[in-house]
Amino acid sequence: MNTDASSRLRKLGSRTAGPGRPVFVTGEIGINHNGELDNAIALIDVAAEAGCDAVKFQKRTPEICTPRDQWDIERDTPWGRMKYIDYRHRVEFGEDEYRAIDEHCKEKGIAWFASPWDTEAVAFLEKFESIPAHKVASASLTDDELLRALRATGRTVILSTGMSTPKQIRHAVEVLGSENILLCHATSTYPAKAEELNLRVINTLQNEFPNVPIGYSGHETGLQTTLAAVALGATFVERHITLDRAMWGSDQAASVEPQGLTRLVRDIRTIEASLGDGVKKVYESELGPMKKLRRVAGVVAEADAAQD
């Protein structure tokens, strides 16, 4: 198995994700746009201004992804009471909306991609040559047909591992092939409790899949734990974003608002800069304090000076 540093690098459009590269930060819009293109455009602007590398959506074919026995169940929505299948269509964007999203992202200099939930959605997304990757939602990790369709695209595939056992994860990696995937640790609760995030799984995945970059897809409230994931070595970070957590929708409460997203990206960049290369050295900036504060040079320092 190839375990050199380059084997853990993945192309994501014009960027490269992996150890030693800047953390690839994605703002997960999902369906927090509530089926309104204006909301999606506003969220793209928020992500671009915060410094995110990409935004992500979700793409479903409602008749495939909605169980038939749920189609006619009525539910209350912001647009009145409607059948569930009609609601699923109401929050789903079509080609016209995604063309507008594609154009706006190009103008803003930010990438976009999506999580397809069925093979028809994969074919739909493949119409857009600019997308840097496909994402497998945690709920789809066990869908071998979908995984094979994604592998066949030849694009980088980002695989979230929430609600999945180690055995299921290993099988999904076998189906996708490890050469072109990026694994994300995740806990699929919205919002997730801190004590159930189990961030050390990032290191477990690093050890088990030494030729695969490991990222983090967070659904918690707050920012500290996502920053901790970066400190543990996550090379990719995804968080749900929203214009307002009080908006209607099941994912809004576990999402980051604009000001929080700006802080998150800023702090991720500070952390990755501070992690360094792990090689202990005396910095030039330390020479002045050393001369002023170190009373005894020590035998090692004297020996080093004699060799220079």
**163-198 pLDDT, tens digit each:** 999 999 999 999 999 999 999 999 999 899 999 999
**61-111 pLDDT, tens digit each:** 999 999 999 999 998 888 899 999 999 999 999 999 999 999 999 999 999
**How is residue 56 written in tokens?**
């992500």
- The pLDDT, as a whole number, for residue 247 is 84
Say whether pLDDT at 1 is over 50: no
**236-245 pLDDT, tens digit each:** 999 999 998 8
Say whether pLDDT at 15 is over 80: yes
CA-CA-CA-CA dihedral for 49, 53, 54, 55, to nearest 10: -40
- The pLDDT, as a whole number, for residue 49 is 98
CB count in 10 Å sphere of residue 134: 24
Sign for the CA dihedral angle at 107, 28, 134, 31 comes to negative
Say whether pLDDT at 212 is over 80: yes
**214-253 pLDDT, tens digit each:** 999 999 999 999 999 999 999 999 999 999 887 877 788 8
Instruction: Provide the edge-to-edge strand list for the sheet that holds 236-240.
Output: 111-116, 54-59, 24-30, 236-240, 214-218, 181-186, 156-160, 133-136
Q: Degrees (nearest 5) of the Cα angle 122, 127, 132?
A: 75
